[in-house]
Amino acid sequence: MNWHPLKSFAFGSLVGVVALALVVGCSSSTKTETKDEASPAVETDTVVVEAAKPVDAPEPSFEPPVFEASAEKLLASRLPIERTTEGWVRLFDGHTLFGWVIGGKANWRVEDQAIVADDGENCLLATSTVWSDYELELQFQCDDETNSGVFVRTTLDPQSVQTDCYEVNIAPASNPFPTGGIVQRDKGKLFETDADTWHTMNILCDGPMLTVTIDGEVTCELDDADTPLSGFIGLQHRKGRVAFKDIQIRPLGLQNLLADGLDRWTIREGMDGEYRINDEGQLVVDGGKQQLESKDQFGDFVMLADYKMDDPKSNSGLFFRAIPGDEMMGYECQVSNETIDGNPLQPADCGAGGIFRRQDARVVAGEPKRWNSILLVAEGNHFATWVNGVQVTDVVDTRDADENPRRGLRLEPGTIIVQGHDKTTQATYRQISIASSGNDVNASDDR
């Protein structure tokens, strides 16, 4: 069995840290520098996600939960391609807390495909991924006297709701900031909840603009939300029962690097295969080892790629933070739908969305003969990927710093490379879109 520890965070009063970890069973894929019709049959094997106990801390009041999910359940939580091609992904797969970190002693758990808490200390359940500009949509249900909230652009242990985050409150009408208001910033328009009803909350964070909408009604608008501009997303337990489900996010500001054909790219000379733009404006990668390299460089970013490969064994990849001008020397987000013995929990070669040599995809969520979407978030030494809306990796690179990501941690900006792997490669990309965090290098500045 392979043990993949995820990111660990310190939380204020805790002496140690709390982490989530993924156990993937029965993986027999190998990692080498060279990677080697129908939808795969779904097996009954499961992935197990466990929330670890605090390290060197007193015994918690609540045992960290352990979750299991079959391939069938994970694949059923995928989103339609019409939605994922716009960038929408699930932050919660409906069955596990993969991609989340429990920040205190509350009884966070999964019930009926919802995240629930109703006892314990005031704390956050936070994403392990940092987000900047986005649209967040979720459903929530609360008791009449519940005091909870959705924290956006937050630190992991916010000390001040005026400086460290924005707290969209879920609270009774008697609260100074009732449901839909932003605590210590704007009371907003009163929205009264119903304990028997699931309400839909939409939060739009776009630069200094922050808009809260509940059940189609705008409850609060800020036009000066410029501190902070990025952070984690947190669900709060404070008082009473609260439940959240169908939590989805869409990053904003994505720009398609293929919009101008190959103008923003360089084809490496002396390699086999072919890159071309077809009549639909899509990039075709056809046969042989080869690389197409972006002229611009990117450090921290969100990238959305739509790909299609008819052959289940066809193999491509998206390299990032690559050494400019070198041959595929970067981190690699795998593009491969191949499985072992038709089991989606056993990727044959890292799996679509897997970070090659760092972490295999926990489930192969891409399929041949259809369009698939990969969303990659690279922020510092943390990488996370979603395929067709389901999160498949959550990676922290803890290696020593090195210019070459094959050998160690690279934080410096680098190029994006679209890989042609071998003579069997036949892949089509209809978008490779990026929203940068601002530490990229424009080709005109670098070459």
* C-alpha torsion angle, residues 64, 65, 71, 72 (rounded to 10): -160
pLDDT for res 424: 82
Whether the per-residue pLDDT at 42 is higher than 60: the answer is no
Taking the C-alpha atoms of residue 365 and residue 72, their distance in angstroms, rounded to an integer, is 10
pLDDT of 438 reads 67
Q: What percentage of the chain exceeds 70 in pLDDT?
A: 84
pLDDT reported for residue 66: 87
**What is d(CA 75, CA 46) in angstroms, rounded to the nearest whole number?**
12
Which pLDDT does position 295 carry in this prediction? Answer: 97
Domains in the chain (CATH in brackets) are 88-253 (2.60.120.560), 255-446 (2.60.120.560)
- Residue 41: predicted pLDDT: 39
Residue 242 CA, chain-centre distance (Å), reads 24
Residue 251 reports pLDDT greater than 90: yes
The neighbouring-strand residues paired with 106 are 120
pLDDT tens digit sequence for 166-177: 999 999 999 999
Mean pLDDT score, 14-31: 30
Specify which of 4-8, 20-24, 51-55, 93-97 reaches the highest per-range mean pLDDT: 93-97
Query: What was the pLDDT predicted at 435?
Result: 97
Q: Does 25 score more than 70 pLDDT?
A: no
pTM: 0.87
For the segment 280-324, what is each residue's pLDDT rounded down to a tens digit?
999 999 988 899 999 999 999 999 999 999 999 999 999 999 999
Q: Would the pLDDT of 148 be above 50?
A: yes
pLDDT value, residue 22: 31
The whole-number pLDDT of residue 65 equals: 82
Pick the closest to residue 367 from 333, 350, 344, 349 (CA basis): 344
Residue 34 has pLDDT above 80, yes or no: no
239-272 burial, b at 16+ Cβ within 10 Å, e below that, comes to: ebbbbbbbbbbbbbebebbbeeeeebbbebeeee
